[in-house]
Amino acid sequence: MGSENPIGADNQQGRLESYLSGFADGEGSFSVGVTRRLDLKNGFQLVPEFRVSQNGERATVLSTFQSVLGCGSIRQNDLSRSSDRTLVYVVRRRRHLMERVIPFFHRNPLLSEKQRTFELFAIIVESMQAGAHLNRSGFDRLVRLAFQMNGDGRYRKWKLDEIVGIQNPQRLYAEPHQ
């Protein structure tokens, strides 16, 4: 006999996972940062990250994410602003993204447009796990995908053409565009 539950969560764990997925849909983000690293072949490093933020007095949900996913850390969001009381749950370790975060959101898809961002995020992390970022063409492909996420790169420190296709990154200035 089928479930009467409209979201398909037939047990408490399933309901909890659905709740956390919905919470991440509103208060979470999947991002792939691009940082300057002149010691690397491509001159830049891709840094994938899953994060969820919440005010400190309601941070129990962050601990729940950490417990359910079995990874990540909880810390103050912005140490430079004393008025910021937001805490953030962060997962950056690629192995944890691959083995825990991505499978969790495949089981519990997001309902908003953020699902597309997650799909790009998963492609990037899985491609990095396979080593695609270690050669120039693979790196450029992943950067282009990262720039399709979260506002098409408009909030990024570096412009796409400052990162993609650069043959000798050590010759670049160490500072981004102004």
Backbone φ, ψ for residue 70 (5° rounding): 70, 30
DSSP state, residue 99: I
Range from 42-46, 83-87, 117-121, 170-174 carrying the lowest mean pLDDT: 170-174
Listed by start position, the domains of the chain span: 12-162
Q: Report, as an integer, the average pLDDT of 8-16.
A: 74
Beta strands in the chain (DSSP E): 28-36, 44-55, 73-76, 86-91
Q: Confirm if 140 and 164 have CB atoms less than 8 A apart.
A: yes
- What is the pLDDT at residue 174? 47
pLDDT tens for 34-87 read 988 888 888 889 999 999 999 888 889 999 999 999 999 999 887 666 666 789
- Pick the closest to residue 43 from 128, 161, 146, 170 (CA basis): 170
Which amino acid, one-letter code, is at 116? R
- How is residue 59 written in tokens? 């941070």
User: Homologous superfamily of 12-162 in CATH?
Assistant: Homing endonucleases (3.10.28.10)
- What is the pLDDT at residue 154? 64
Which amino acid, one-letter code, is at 11? N
- What is the pLDDT at residue 37? 86
